Amino acid sequence: MVQFSRACLRKFGNLVDNLRLYVRGGSGGMGLPRLGGQGGNGGDVWVVAKKDVTLKRIKDKYPQKRFVGGAGANSRVRSLRGERGEDKQIFAPVGITVTTDDGRILGDLNAEGDRVIVAKGGPGGSRYTAFEPSKGQVKHIRLDLKLIADMGLVGFPNAGKSSLLTAISNATPQIASYSFTTLKPEIGKLMYKDYKQISVADLPGLIEGAHINKGMGHKFLKHVERTRQLLFVVDVCGFQLASQTPFRSAFETVQLLTKELELYKEELVSKPALLVVNKMDLPDAEDKLQELKEHLQNPDQFSDLLPDMIPKKYMTFKHVVPVSATTGFGIDHLKSCIRESLDEDAAMETKAIHQERLQALRYPSHEHL
């Protein structure tokens, strides 16, 4: 197991999904006391979203991970007002959350061109400061990459998520018989006849205790936050991580996945969700599927089957879709269900926006009158 882990680290060690940087705004310029001149303000430091940038490239290009704004110019006889220092821009990938070391969110960069100021430059010297300039802000910030996808695959290791993503999209994630195949996120695109594209993210597998950062814990869960809907994937025959860990039925698996999401961030279980019951080509799969559906319809009656981790709120699935990623059974139906679910949500969002605008027209704000 140790050798396998080392091999995975060698193969996937290039994935960088968070980065800590030192940032400092530029110092202000000196004022000119005898003529009342004002020094230029120091330049600010910004994080700017840009396509085709990765955190690894930032790390490789700037090994010191230090970014400083330009200093403001001193006031002079020929230029009583000193020029402002040059701003420093840190180009980062789309889908970044920028936080301080203490966890305060400075901003989310969800689209190319989005920007957030992370360190302000110091004011130049003036008559209000005895012509003495100030230094810029100094911070340590974190860039945290969170995927943005329409659908996020949620499942314990070896549930068949990678095989499923290959079957429904253009992605080619690594597929193998051991548990931890996916160690870095993969995004596939579902293509429809009307040229509609839907993005689906295959995320590193959860294990029990992920909410307290066991296994890949928070590395997985933070990506779930940035998906519009969830696609639970379970093995119809159940799941066992290792010989020393308990066996979980498909029903137990669904509830444990729900509880892990709930403990990490309760609002995650309010996302629209579909349930994919995979490996329907296995023996007795139909009987096990009917048993799972019965349990899902009346989860309280079967709560004694669960371990201690019973979720506060049972997950409600828009669709329960049996498939076999290996044989292709149910794949077309699954793609239709995904499209239907996302289209329904989009229609509801559009309706809500229209109602909000109509309300604003009927009852205009008087605050500017």
Does 280 score more than 60 pLDDT? yes
The answer to whether 140 and 20 are in contact (CB under 8 A) is: yes
pTM exceeding the 0.75 threshold for the entire prediction = no
How do residues 13-52 score in pLDDT, each as one tens digit? 455 778 999 999 999 999 999 999 999 999 999 999 998 8
Q: Which residues contact 271 (CB under 8 A, 6 or more apart)?
A: 227, 228, 229, 230
How do residues 75-123 score in pLDDT, each as one tens digit? 999 999 999 999 999 999 888 889 998 888 899 898 899 999 999 999 9
The answer to whether 169 and 331 are in contact (CB under 8 A) is: no
Residue-range domains of the chain with CATH: 18-145 (2.70.210.12), 149-351 (3.40.50.300)
Q: Please tell me which residue, 179 or 290, carries the higher pLDDT value.
A: 290
Query: Dihedral of the CA atoms 167, 169, 173, 174 (nearest 10)?
Result: 10
Q: Which residues contact 191 (CB under 8 A, 6 or more apart)?
A: 169, 170, 197
| Helix then strand then coil, % of the chain, to nearest 5 | 30, 25, 45
- Residue 166 in 3-state DSSP? helix
